[in-house]
Structure 1
Amino acid sequence: MTDLHVQHIDGYGTVRVRPLDPEADADVVHAWVSDERAAFWGMNGLTRTQVAEIYAHMATLDTHHAHLVTKDDVPVALFQTYEPSADRVGECYDVRPGDLGVHLLLAPAGPDGPHHGWTRALLKVLTTYALLGLDRRRIVVDPDVRNVKAIDRFARQGFRRGPAVVLPEIDLPDVYLPEKRAQLAFLDRAAAFPE
């Protein structure tokens, strides 16, 4: 698949963002979302086939996109982007032109364990792609209010905390999402990339 964004990070390697292939990437994504540490992702207990079907459905949408992120060709993250106005989060805050919603699931640390500064460097690459590569004005994230690690990680990256909200349940033939208490946070392009 064609890379959408490539960026080298001194001391870490080359990060690539490409569209997720729902079938070819299903094994790695299923392993990540099945891990207990990914409980807030909401896919624990799903089979590989169910995970592949969810991402195959997402690939048919113009408003929601899934990406596989690699470092030196090793998968390191699942990165989803979406139009907030076409998502349940859009019912919970005043969506502005140029907003982009994102979800991020990091791969488990490799056999060498976590590398200091890696998540910060990776988030910088992904915000560069989202804000500059996709020409957006603001990113919105909506981690579960209980996911303190993610909330703190986004705050350290410069995201400004917004309100805690309740994302409504979605129950459609192709999509089911339970109600979720989420902590909104925002990153403006001007704050991330001051001129």
Structure 2
Amino acid sequence: MTWSVTLPGATTELTFAPVRASADTELIHDWMNRSHVVPWWQLGVSAPEIHAYLAGLTHLRPWLVSAGEVPFGYVETYVVADDALARHYPARPGDVGFHLLVGPLSMIGTGVPRLMGRAVLAWLLNHGERAVCEPDVRNGRMLAYCRRLGLTSLGEVELPEKRAAVLACERTEFDARWPGDRAAVGVLK
């Protein structure tokens, strides 16, 4: 299901559409091979490999995010209990997680990626008790992004592909920081 939202205080409408491997592989392949994405996603591979990755996702829900009509973001959402991450920190039954990236460098610094993060957190926190992510500890840009959104550290963990900072945000903290965001997003399935 595709959904759109304009968050309180924003003028940009964001649209979240489920990724279709057949239609979206070329765009996502392009983004995954950009120099600001490759070190963190480790998916700087061929288009057929990206297609296989997207088509093979099971517990991760991939989304293509657009501002107006312009695609700029890729997001994966998931239930932590269904993910290997749950074995690496004190996960709670209501934890939900996300991974995200901004493809075009021209979008970074515009404020639109922060709107995407707010919308992702609002959507997740309407479905779970606590939202988490696990960026590489060397990814200073992502760590700062998450802190600005209101996520706080639960510590660092060793994952097979990286040393990760586990960051989390609970509903009460999110609602205090971004009042009205969860209501704007609603409870979409």
Asked if Structure 1 and Structure 2 have the same fold, meaning a TM-score greater than 0.5 normalized by the shorter chain, the answer is: yes
TM range, normalised to the smaller chain? 0.7 to 0.9
Determine which of 82, 93, 96 is the counterpart of 2:92: 96
Q: Name the residue aligned to 2:114.
A: 120
Q: Name the residue aligned to 1:131.
A: 125
Structure 1: 4+ residue segments shifted above 3 A: 9-12, 113-116
Asked if structure 1 preserves the Cα contact closer than 8 Å seen for 2:34 and 2:103, the reply is: no
Asked if structure 2 preserves the Cα contact closer than 8 Å seen for 1:76 and 1:106, the reply is: yes
Q: What is the one-letter code of the residue matched to 1:16?
A: T
Residues 82, 11 of structure 1: alpha-carbon distance in 2 compared, 3 angstrom cutoff: closer
Q: Name the residue aligned to 1:6.
A: 4
TM-score (norm 1): 0.83
State how many pairs are aligned. Answer: 175
Q: Secondary structure at the match of 1:75?
A: strand
Whether 2:23 is the aligned partner of 1:41: answer no
Determine which structure has greater relative contact order: mean sequence separation of CA pairs < 8 Å that are 6+ residues apart, divided by chain length.
2
Q: Name the residue aligned to 2:184.
A: none
Alignment of 1:1-195 (within 5 A): 2-3=1-2, 5-9=3-7, 12-38=11-37, 39-44=39-44, 46-58=45-57, 61=58, 63-110=59-106, 114-132=108-126, 135-168=127-160, 179-194=161-176
Cα deviation, residue 53, structure 1: 0.6
Q: What is the one-letter code of the residue matched to 2:105?
A: A
Q: After superposition, what is the alpha-carbon deviation per residue over 1:45-72, rounded to whole angstroms, capped at 9, x for unaligned?
A: x1001001100001xx2x2211111111
Q: Distance in 2 between matches of 1:186 and 1:11?
A: 24
Q: Secondary structure at the match of 2:56?
A: helix
Asked if structure 2 preserves the Cα contact closer than 8 Å seen for 1:79 and 1:104, the reply is: yes
Q: Secondary structure at the match of 1:36?
A: coil
- Aligned-pair RMSD on alpha carbons? 1.7
Q: What is the one-letter code of the residue matched to 2:43?
A: M
Question: Going by fraction, where is helix more abundant, 1 or 2?
Answer: 2
Q: Secondary structure at the match of 2:154?
A: strand
- Structure 1: state its 5+ residue gaps: 169-178
Q: Secondary structure at the match of 1:193?
A: helix
Q: Distance in 1 between matches of 2:142 and 2:132?
A: 13
